[in-house]
Every structure is written in C-alpha cells, then in structure tokens.
Structure 1
Amino acid sequence: MVPVQNDRRATTTLWRPTGPEELDLVRDLGWRAWPPRLPEQPIFYPVLDEDYAIKIARDWNVKHDGAGFVTRFEVDTAFLTRYPVQQAGGRTILELWVPAEELDEFNAHIVGKIELVHEFH
C-alpha cells in the first residue's frame, strides 16, 4: 500500500472491481460507501492494484454480469493497518479482507468519493 498525503491525513488508494448491481447501490449511496454484503459474502475485498481490478472486472464480471466496472477510492491509511495485505495469487494480486460486519466502519474511513474509472461490456 502506498500512502498518499492529502491536506488532512494520509490515505491509501484502493480499487474495487464490481458488477452493475453493486455499482447501482454505490451510486444510490452517493458514491460515498459500499453496500452491505449479502449473507453469502462474508468478506469485502478491495484490491491494491489497478491492473488486478481491471482483470477481474473485464474477465469475470463481464462474463457473469454482462458488464464490469473498476472503482477507485481513498481510505485513511492509519485505519487500514488493521487489515493485513492478503496475497491471493501472483505478486500483484493483493487484497484487503474486510469482514462484512466491519464494512460500516470501513465506509466511515473512506476519504472523498468513490470514482468509476473503467467500464467493460
């Protein structure tokens, strides 16, 4: 994770590959929070590498949902220290695993808005 210093506190850039349904829920939340996980989704996993997020959105979300999107957002770096980086495969396949029951607290540490940065159909 590479911290970015803004005018108030250090933040870390994260990416999230997502399908159209989750993106609609983020839009409904004013681009400021992630929606609650479904019962079969015990973990929210933002990723640390934009290329990895693109690969998931393009190769998985498009196949399963007809469209895939990549979002980018900033989170308070000090808060993120509670989530060890998980290597889910290769050297750049890095994720944070946020338990579903901690997502509200995670959302409270998002700095600014969630941005849509890539779209695949």
Structure 2
Amino acid sequence: MELTTLYRPVGPNELRKIEDSGWKRFPKRLAEQPIFYPVMNEEYAIQIARDWNVPASGSGFVTKFALPADYLKKYTVENVGGPIHNELWVPAEELEDFNDHIVGGIVVTKSFYKE
C-alpha cells in the first residue's frame, strides 16, 4: 500500500485533543471551520505553526501523519499562495472517515514557542 505523508500545523489546544485521542485522530471542526486542511509539505506547515500559531496562542506544532494514497485521490490539492502552499481540503463532515484512514499515528515533528 502506497502512503502519502501529510502535515498539520496546530496550536496547543488542538495538540491536546490529538494527544487525548492516543495520537490517532484530529478533533472535530468548529462550526465556523467547514474545511480541515492538512498541508502537503513540512516547510509550509512550519510557516503556519511558527508564524500564525505562536502569535495567536503562544506555541505552534507541526504534526506528521500518513494515509493511503488511493484514499486521498478523492481530494484535490489546492494551492493557496506560493509554490509550497499546497493543501488538501477535506470537508468537515468527512473528518471522521479521514481519521479512520490514518495509518500509524500522528507525530509532532517541530515545536515553536513565543520567546
């Protein structure tokens, strides 16, 4: 089975919920968050965690996880800026199924804190 590695920048509240799941699931989206958007590369995830999450909440984290490439084909890659700014847009109502397809666990690869 071919796997695709994805990244998700998160703040401390979302990280706590991921940890509470046993490092297996991303939490449900809030009503004002209709899309779950994992990103396609670690460089972009670092930008978000460091430049957005840290100022907003005091810390930011990059998570890494994998799903079967065949499963992910149903989602299109959306570019939201420069060459590295590629995301998958997963409708919030599909997040539970998305979580069910995570192979292995979710790991933290980078941590950033307000100085």
TM-score using structure 2 length: 0.97
CA RMSD, Structure 1 to Structure 2 (Å): 0.5
Q: How do 1:1-121 and structure 2 match up within 5 A?
A: 9-121=1-113
Q: SS at the partner of 1:105?
A: helix
Identity of aligned residues (%): 55
- Alpha-carbon distance in 2 for matches of 1:101, 1:93: 24
- Structure 2 residue identity aligned to 1:73: F
- Alpha-carbon distance in 2 for matches of 1:10, 1:30: 24
- Alpha-carbon distance in 1 for matches of 2:81, 2:18: 28
Gaps of 5+ in 2: none
- Structure 2 residue identity aligned to 1:30: G
- 1:50 CA drift (Å): 0.5
Corresponding residue of 1:5:
none
Corresponding residue of 1:6:
none
1:30-70 deviations in Å (ceiling 9; x for gaps): 00111100111100000001000000000000000100000
- Alpha-carbon distance in 2 for matches of 1:75, 1:34: 13
TM-score using structure 1 length: 0.92
Gaps of 5+ in 1: 1-8
